[in-house]
Structure 1
Amino acid sequence: MNVLVVKANNRPATDAVSSKMYETFMENIEGVNITVYDVFAEDMPYLGQDLFNAFAKLQSGEEMTDIEQRILAAKQKAMDALTAADVVVFAFPLWNLTIPAKLQTFIDYVYQAGFTFKYDENGQAVQLMTDKKAVILSARGGIYSTPEAAPMEMAATYIKNVVGYVFGMEIVQEVIIEGHAAAPDQAETIIAEGLAKVRVVAKSLSAVPVN
């Protein structure tokens, strides 16, 4: 089984809980082929006109600029990594109510009609990644699981909507660690309990059946 781990926090694990979740997962996963796509280590120009210029030049045969070549290569690398994966693990924090910009760029690269979804003859979106599974590992210092705060949470919710609803991946596991900043006196326990769940996910992942 091929597992792609999308790492989306470059802060050290001593300072960032989602980084510790990533490390815990990597320390406990075995028996599968692991590929790590570190969005902070990759050369990932932001989605914008450079990409559309590159597409046009690719069609016309014109010479591309450095940024155009880089963004095409980066987009293809992200798509290739996703194509090769049976299971995709997303490890990321909630930053300012949403995901890190670098993770957004990864999503932008693979969120493409004809690749992760398509439109049928009636204009309805059709999922193209239904053969893949996804795992969500995310941390947030505040508490966003209450009915009042849940609408403000646009990190885990966004990733689940994109990969689950649009792409069609089956989300088989989700571990959220929250509230450690809001309740510092309970932080050690909150984090420890969450990391224990991450270990369970890592150890059980190789048993996840792949259709």
Structure 2
Amino acid sequence: MNILVVKANNRPDGISTKMYETYIAEAKKEGLNVATFDVFTENMPYFGQDFFNALGKLQNKAELTEAEASLLAAKQKAKDAVAVADIIVFAFPLWNLTIPAPLHTFFDYIFEAGFSFHYNDKGQLEGLMSDKKAVILCARGGVYSTPEMQPLEMSANYVRHAIGMFGMQLEDEVIIEGHNANPADAEKIIAAGLEKVKASVHKLKQLA
């Protein structure tokens, strides 16, 4: 079983960073095969006109610019990492109601017809990654699980919808929230969440 952990926080003291570190340490302790894709250290050019220019040039067999070639290479690297993974673990924070920009770029790279989804004969979108499972590890300082705040949460929700479109099964989800909103209980909230991260690794161990 190949596990890919997509790390999407470059803050050393970030709570989702601690979730990532805890997951990696526990997975190695359990002898699981784990690889990391750090979206903040990888070359991740934004998805935009350079990409569409590059596609047109590929179709016409024209020479690519350095920027176009770099973008296509980065996109392929992300796709290759996902292609060989059986389990994909996303470790990320909620920043300003959504996911960090490099993680969004990662999803832009793998949202590709013929790779992660296709359209069936009825024109309906179908995921092509039903053989893969996903795990969400998300940290958010506020409390977004209440009915009035949940509609504003566009980080874990985004990732859920994306992997759903890919056809991946959501195997587990660990959310740490409220540590900034409730500083007196922050240590307890974080510690309890990290124990759930360890438990998530043990669940996957049973699948191996």
Q: With the length of structure 2 as denominator, give the TM-score of the two structures.
A: 0.97
Q: Which residue of 1 aligns with 2:152?
A: 152
Letter in 2 for 1:141: G
Unpaired segments ≥5 residues, structure 2: none
Identity among equivalent pairs (%)? 59
The separation in 2 between residues aligned to 1:122 and 1:170, in whole angstroms, is 23
Task: Name 1:87's counterpart in structure 2.
Answer: 87
Distance between the aligned counterparts of 2:32 and 2:40, measured in 1? 24
SS of residue matched to 1:139? strand
CA deviations over 1:111-138 (Å, ceiling 9, x no partner): 1111111001110111111110000000
* Separation (CA, whole Å) in 2 of partners of 1:100 and 1:126: 26
Q: Mapping of 1:18-97 within 5 angstroms?
A: 18-29=16-27, 30-97=30-97
Q: Which amino acid aligns with 2:131?
A: D
Tell me the equivalent position of 2:135: 135
> Hey, which bits of structure 1, 4+ residues long, moved more than 2 A?
none
SS at match of 1:207: helix
1:182 deviates by: 0.2
> Aligned partners of 1:62 and 1:22: how far apart in 2?
42
**Structural RMSD (CA):** 0.9
What does 1:161-180 correspond to in 2, within 5 Å? 161-164=161-164, 166-180=165-179
Q: How far apart are the structure 2 equivalents of 1:40 and 1:95? A: 14
- Distance, in Å, in 2 between the alignment partners of 1:160 and 1:107 is 12
Aligned-partner SS, 1:142: coil
- Residues 192-203 of structure 1: matches in 2 within 5 Å? 192-203=191-202
**What is the identity, as a one-letter code, of the residue corresponding to 1:86?**
D
Alignment TM-score, normalising by the size of structure 1: 0.95
Q: Does 1:181 align with 2:207?
A: no
SS at match of 2:207: coil
Indicate the residue corresponding to 1:100 in structure 2. Answer: 100
In structure 2, the residue corresponding to 1:197 is in which secondary structure? helix
Structure 1: tracts of 5 or more residues without a match: none
- Equivalent residues, number: 206
Shift of 1:36: 0.5
